[in-house]
Amino acid sequence: MVTVSFDPDARTLYWYFVELEEGASAEEGECAAALLLDGDGQVIGCELELDESVAREDLALALRHPQVRYQAETFTLTVLLADETPATVQPLAETAILDFDAAGSLLGCELVTAPEFELAERLRRLAPFMVSLDEEEDQGPEPALSASEGTGDRGLGIADDELRTEDREPGTAEAVRPEILQPSAFTLQPFKSGFVAIIGRPNVGKSTLLNALLGQKVAIVSRKPQTTRTAIRGVLNRPGAQVVFVDTPGIHQPRNRLGSFMVEQARRSIPDADVICFMVDISEPPGRLDRRIAAMVRRSRAPKLLVLNKVDRPTPHGPEHLQAYRELGPWDMELAISALHGEGLEALVEEIVRRLPEGPPLYPEGQVTDQSERELAAELVREQVLRHTEEEVPHGVAVEVEEWEQRERALYIRMTIYVEKESQKGILIGAGGAMLKKIGSNARHNIERALGQPVFLDLWVKPRPNWRDDPSSLRWLGYRET
Ligand code: GDP
Ligand code: MG
C-alpha cells in the first residue's frame, strides 16, 4: 500500500512506496509537484514532474502499487488514492524532495505546502493511508540507526554532549532542535557582525546550508560536485547580530584555469573569515580533499567549527567517521546538522554568533545576497542544465544574460548557455527541443519565485570552445579574479 504521513509543523506530506525497513534512502532529488484534490478540496493524490534522469526501472517500487501510474512522454508520476478524476490539480510552490535508495529506486517523496493551503483541513480522504510519524521518523525519513544503540541521536550514535565540546550549559541538550531564536528582551549586549566562511569539499552540502539558513535560494545545489563558481555572500540578520555567510566553491585539485581560480577563491576567503565552518559529510569518511582543506583551515586563527552534515542519512560508521574528522582538527566545537531537513541550524547560528566580533551591521537590513538578480537568474538556469544533463555536459557550461527587459506582461530575459562542444549543444537542446524546454520551464519557475514576478525566458545554446582556459573569456563571463 502507498502510505502517507503528515507533519503539521512542517506542513509536509510524506508519500512512501515502501515499508521504511525495505529501503534505506541514499540519494535525494528534487522536482516540481502538485497535489490532486477532489471537489471538496480534499487531497486524493499527488503528481511528480520527473525528468529523464529518473529511468523507468527507478520507478519499479512505486509502480507496483495500482494507485501509481507513470506517463513516460511527460515524465509525470501520478499517485491517485481514490477511484475518481481529480477536480483540481494544485501545483506546489516548493519543489518536492525525492528519496532514492542506493540502487536509484524511488522510495517516496516529501511535499511541502504553503500555510494558506491549510493542509491539515484537507486530509480526510487520506485517512486510510495515513501512518503516524513516530519519534524516529520525525528526525528524518529513515529509521534512526541509533535506536538500537539507545542514544536517540539521528542515527549517528553520537551523544549530544560529545557533539558540543565547549560552552555547554546544563540543559541545552535540546538546543540542537531548529527553533526560531527569540529576540532577547534586554539587548544590552553589543551588536555583533562578521564574515563566516563555509568551507568543505564539493558536495558536502554547503550551498544547501546557505539556502536553508537564509530561507531562500541564493546558491545553486546539485548532486554533481563543483557547481558553485563564485563565492556568494548571504546575509542573516538576527536580534543583536548580523552574520554574513560566504559559500565558497569547493576546494579541489585544479585541472584548468577555471579550476585553479575556484581553489584560489576558497583559499582567499579563509583569512577574511571571522568564523570558519569546516563542513563535512558524516555519511562518508574523510578523503584526501577533506584532509587538504582541513590543513588549510587549521592555519587560520579564527574560531573553527566542525559541521557534520547529512546526519539524516543512515550512517552505520558514523562514530568512526566522527573520530576521523575530529582528528583533522583541533575544532572549537562540533555540531551535527541536516542542512536538507533544517535540523540543528539554530544551534549552529547561535554558536557562530557567540564567536563573532563586536561591530555594526555590514549590509543594510533586507538585503539577503550580494548577487545581483541577473547573476542569480543565470545561476538558476545553470542549475537546471546541470540537473538535466549527464556527466558529458556540466563543467563546460556557462550562462550569460543577453537581455533583461521589463515588458508589459512579464520580465523578458534572454540568456545564452555556452557549451564547449557542438555535440553538447545537441544534448542540451534535445530531440525536438524537449530538453531545452524542460530546462527553461523549470528555471523560469525558480526565477519567478526568486524575483516574485512573471518571467518570459528565452534560452539559446551556443558552443564556445575552450572558454575555460581562455582568461579573456573568463573575464567576459564575469569570473573576475579579484
Ligand atoms: P556543495 O557542493 O557543498 O555546495 O553541496 P550542495 O549543497 O550542492 O549539496 C550536494 C548534494 O548533497 C545535494 O544533492 C544535496 O541535496 C545533498 N545534501 C545537502 N545537505 C544534505 C543533508 O543534510 N542531507 C542529505 N541527505 N543530503 C544533503
Ligand atoms: Mg555549492
Highest mean pLDDT among 182-196, 225-239, 361-375, 436-450: 436-450
Give the pLDDT confidence of 69-116 residue by residue, as tens digits: 999 888 899 999 998 899 988 988 888 888 888 788 899 998 989 888
Give the pLDDT confidence of 185-202 residue by residue, as tens digits: 344 568 898 889 888 887
Whole-number Å distance, alpha carbon 382 to ligand 2 midpoint, is 13
Give the pLDDT confidence of 253-284 residue by residue, as tens digits: 334 444 444 455 555 667 778 999 999 999 99
Query: What's the N-to-C CA distance of the chain in angstroms?
Result: 57
Give the residue-averaged pLDDT of 202-221.
Answer: 74
- The packing angle between helices 288-298 and 257-272, to 10°, is 40
Whole-number Å distance, alpha carbon 204 to ligand 1 midpoint, is 6
- Protein residue whose Cα sits closest to atom 13 of ligand 1: 223
Task: Report which of 441, 383, 456, 366 is spatially closest to residue 417, judged by C-alpha positions.
Answer: 383
Burial class (CB in 10 A: 0-12, 13-18, 19+), 66: exposed
- Protein residue whose Cα sits closest to atom 9 of ligand 1: 205
Task: Report which of 374, 371, 448, 375 is spatially closest to residue 410, judged by C-alpha positions.
Answer: 448
Q: Which atom of ligand 1 is nearest to the CA of 204?
A: 3
Residue 371, ligand 1, Cβ within 6 A? no
Which H, E and C letters describe the chain, residue by residue? CCEEEEECCCCEEEEECCCHHHCCEEEEEEEEEEEEECCCCCEEEEEEECCCCCCHHHHHHHHCCCCEEEECCCCEEEEECCCCCCCEEEECCCCEEEEEECCCCEEEEEEECCHHHCHHHHCHHHHHHECCCCHHHHCCCCCCHHHHCCCCCCCCCCCHHHHCCCCCCCCCHHHHCCCCCCCCCCCCCCCEEEEEEEECCCCCCHHHHHHHHHCCCCCCCCCCCCCCCCCEEEEEEECCEEEEEEECCCCCCCCCHHHHHHHHHHHHHHHHCCEEEEEEECCCCCCHHHHHHHHHHHCCCCCEEEEEECCCCCCCCHHHHHHHHHCCCCCCEEEECECCCCECHHHHHHHHHHHCCECCCCCCCCCCECCCHHHHHHHHHHHHHHHHCCCCCHHHCEEEEEEEEECCCCEEEEEEEEECCHHHHHHHHCHHHHHHHHHHHHHHHHHHHHHCCCEEEEEEEEECCCHHHCHHHHHHCCCCCC
Whole-number Å distance, alpha carbon 203 to ligand 1 midpoint, is 6
- Protein residue whose Cα sits closest to atom 8 of ligand 1: 221
390 pLDDT band, cuts 50/70/90, is low
CB 225 within 8 A of CB 360: no
* Residue 363 φ then ψ, to 5°: -130, 150
Q: What is the pLDDT of residue 365?
A: 62
Res 332 pLDDT > 90: yes
- Protein residue whose Cα sits closest to atom 2 of ligand 1: 203
Give the residue-averaged pLDDT of 476-482.
Answer: 45
Whole-number Å distance, alpha carbon 249 to ligand 2 midpoint, is 6
- Protein residue whose Cα sits closest to atom 22 of ligand 1: 310
Whole-number Å distance, alpha carbon 323 to ligand 2 midpoint, is 25
Predicted structure pTM score: 0.47
CB 125 within 8 A of CB 43: yes
Rounded to the nearest 10°, the torsion over CA 18, 23, 25, 31 is: -40
Residue 205, ligand 1, Cβ within 6 A? yes
Chain center to CA of 49: 18
The whole-angstrom separation of Cα 195 and Cα 246 is 7
Peptide bond into 330 cis (omega under 30): yes
Q: What is the pLDDT of residue 47?
A: 95
Would you put residue 439 in left (φ > 0), alpha (ψ -120 to 50) or beta?
alpha
Whole-number Å distance, alpha carbon 229 to ligand 2 midpoint, is 8
Q: Which amino acid is at 43?
A: V
- Protein residue whose Cα sits closest to atom 10 of ligand 1: 203
Residue 228, ligand 1, Cβ within 6 A? yes
Residue 251, ligand 1, Cβ within 6 A? no
Mean pLDDT of the chain: 76
